[in-house]
Structure 1
């Protein structure tokens, strides 16, 4: 009797140890996926760190909130920039009446950039660190569900894409900065200080675009699985593919859904993955909501200042100054920035529309088992529930129509400023 009890206890202990080993193995795999994800974004995140912007910290292959050292560095850098700007800007002269109004207007873009940098650094490091961790954790779960972790090329291509975009972005600024400085009548230290912050302002939009593109790439993987299932059914191929831990291309090398069966629940799994993509899109929206809003505010400010300055120099019969040309350059680059954001978000919406079309094909295929069509209908409900749109504080949707709205608003204010200038 005692031997039987000992045998049962041993079996139970073996089961417990096996479960603990499995949990440890799953945790290690999840950490490896997160490390691969961070590796794809690491070049851009390291550049952010040079400006005192820390989204999280990595300790023992685990994402953790920012520590006191990171927060202190962020505070010191923002306070340093505020002190430098307060000392170098010409606003005190304008306030006391010893400076021209046009000189004060010329300093407005620099003030907008400073406000955007300070608020972005503080909120990212102090308030949004948990959301940033949740975003990368959600990406790791998506990759696990889609078997992206079996493809090393997927992460290699993602890192190459990040490096390529960062390189193009940096080269672009190296061309814009000299042209900006060359238009000024004199190059002062204050103008040189603004340039790094202008780079950082656009860098935040680059990070946002890269994350939206990460969502788009994973949604494309879902579309590829659905398209492969539909194509193989139309071609009446019934080959069975075993999904295992092996090196393969998750995009198009095997049929994740498999063949038709009343017990096949793969479409439901893809729907659950789409649900995670929708939640991740919402998290990205929350993290970059303020940054996108300030980008639109700064772009609108540059447009208004450009219009006002043009009318000022035109009515005063003065030659167009270097400051005017500088503001025009900033205005053009800001509009391009809004255009890039709108284009990236529009591509995500187009990919979602492709998903909707593919799922609808599965629903309308009456040769499929009823259970699979029911799963596809639930998938369609999720697609309707998660439109994958990025909103700016629930006011504007970031898509291709945003550019048309901007052109409309700019035209309206052009008319208003022209009318007001006649009474001045």
Structure 2
């Protein structure tokens, strides 16, 4: 991938606005020991050993504290016959959360170089679109990130307060809350990076629309740089390349590479979100049926978190679906250029090459090549959950 752009010759200042844009996210991630890059003299590099050690130390501290307190609480806690099974189920889910938290950090540290590549790819994309010096564009993106994170923290805080029912030791509830918050924060981070790619693809589409409009007005078939400097202004950027189709094709190729890097970095977190949500759904259904059969009041810790997880998966699926929609719009616009035989041979050749790149980079996000992340994923969740609901109802009389 580094053959497409020279990372060693990058101007250090070109990263400043990008890092400024994602800083609301990175500040919170740093509190959990997750550093995506290391800034050295204005440039960005992979993490140092000290940063990695700090991340491992935080995870070890949380997991060790949880195990000590949980074992001590288990030895001194008495269970009644009715709630014993549900308590075991809650304990298993909590243990799964801790295991996932440990694996999440290991995977995160493994893809340190990919995180740096994502930032560098965004910098090259912005240079191609001439938005790298447009401060207002980054300010608007940063504001949207701040709003999204604020809403996320507000909703999660309300749920955490509501779920604090004294069933566990207070410190255990705090540790579980930290682990669960970090898990959902990764989903938020994934959505932010995908939206960043979507915003760049929107600019590509707007420039393609401008090329088509200019062509249809009969100004010129091979649009010169002077015309573009005066007219092709979108999101505060001006495209000044004479070979506009070729430039946009290269930009799309970089967007495809960036999406592939994002998929590598977050594929474990995506799979973890899907797996955990599915487990929560099954456990919630089982707990509800169990309490109905025993005529007891439900007090499981995970009912509302199950709803929050479903919403998180829904937002993740919707974000990826929007990216696919914009990609399909790009394909339609490029196809319109290919089918216009009034264009010069050079422009049509460039448009055909652009179409080949679109086919090479479908911008589809997968969880380990098993699950495609799009709006259809929610329908699959509903279908599978309904199937397991029927199975659980059928076997519930054995418990």
**TM-score with structure 1 setting the length:** 0.85
Tell me if structure 2 keeps the 8 A contact 1:362–1:376: yes
In structure 2, the residue matched to 1:224 is 206
Distance 1:409 1:184, change over 3 A: farther
Tell me if structure 1 keeps the 8 A contact 2:63–2:98: yes
Q: SS of 2:341's equivalent?
A: coil
Q: SS of 1:422's equivalent?
A: helix
1:40 is displaced (CA, Å) by 0.6
Matched, 1:273 2:273: no
In structure 1, the residue matched to 2:261 is 283
Q: SS of 2:35's equivalent?
A: coil
Q: Gaps (5+ residues) in structure 1?
A: 1-22, 258-263
In structure 1, the residue matched to 2:178 is 196
Distance 1:25 1:98, change over 3 A: closer
Distance 1:188 1:252, change over 3 A: closer
In structure 2, the residue matched to 1:108 is 92
Tell me if structure 2 keeps the 8 A contact 1:343–1:400: yes
Q: SS of 2:34's equivalent?
A: coil
Moved over 6 A (4+): 96-99, 243-246
Task: Return the match for 2:10 from 27, 30, 53.
Answer: 27
Q: SS of 2:343's equivalent?
A: coil
Tell me if structure 1 keeps the 8 A contact 2:130–2:239: no
| Structure-to-structure mapping, 1:38-187, within 5 angstroms | 38-89=19-70, 93=74, 100-125=84-109, 127-181=110-164, 183=165
| Structure-to-structure mapping, 1:9-28, within 5 angstroms | 27-28=10-11
Q: SS of 2:363's equivalent?
A: coil
In structure 1, the residue matched to 2:370 is 395
1:80 is displaced (CA, Å) by 0.9
CA distance in 2, matches of 1:73, 1:89: 24
Deviations, residues 29-50 of structure 1 (Å, cap 9, x unaligned): xx22222111110111111111
Tell me if structure 2 keeps the 8 A contact 1:90–1:104: no
CA distance in 1, matches of 2:8, 2:49: 31
In structure 2, the residue matched to 1:206 is 188
Deviations, residues 162-187 of structure 1 (Å, cap 9, x unaligned): 21211121112222211222x55677
Deviations, residues 91-148 of structure 1 (Å, cap 9, x unaligned): 9849x997722211012332232222222223223x1110111111111111111111
Q: State how many pairs are aligned.
A: 387
Distance 1:36 1:252, change over 3 A: closer
Task: Provide the alpha-carbon RMSD of the alignment.
Answer: 2.7
Tell me if structure 2 keeps the 8 A contact 1:151–1:249: no
CA distance in 2, matches of 1:337, 1:27: 36
**TM-score with structure 2 setting the length:** 0.90
Q: SS of 1:58's equivalent?
A: strand
1:236 is displaced (CA, Å) by 2.9
Deviations, residues 209-262 of structure 1 (Å, cap 9, x unaligned): 01000100111111011001111222234585549999x9544765656xxxxx
Q: Gaps (5+ residues) in structure 2?
A: 1-5
CA distance in 1, matches of 2:198, 2:68: 45
| Structure-to-structure mapping, 1:226-305, within 5 angstroms | 226-238=208-220, 242=226, 250-251=234-235, 254=238, 256=240, 265-305=243-283
Give the number of the structure whose alpha-carbon radius of gyration is greater: 1
1:25 is displaced (CA, Å) by 12
1:310 is displaced (CA, Å) by 1.2
CA distance in 2, matches of 1:279, 1:340: 23
Tell me if structure 2 keeps the 8 A contact 1:229–1:255: no
Distance 1:252 1:72, change over 3 A: closer
Matched, 1:364 2:345: no
| Structure-to-structure mapping, 1:347-358, within 5 angstroms | 347-358=322-333
In structure 2, the residue matched to 1:260 is none
Matched, 1:318 2:286: no
CA distance in 2, matches of 1:170, 1:219: 28
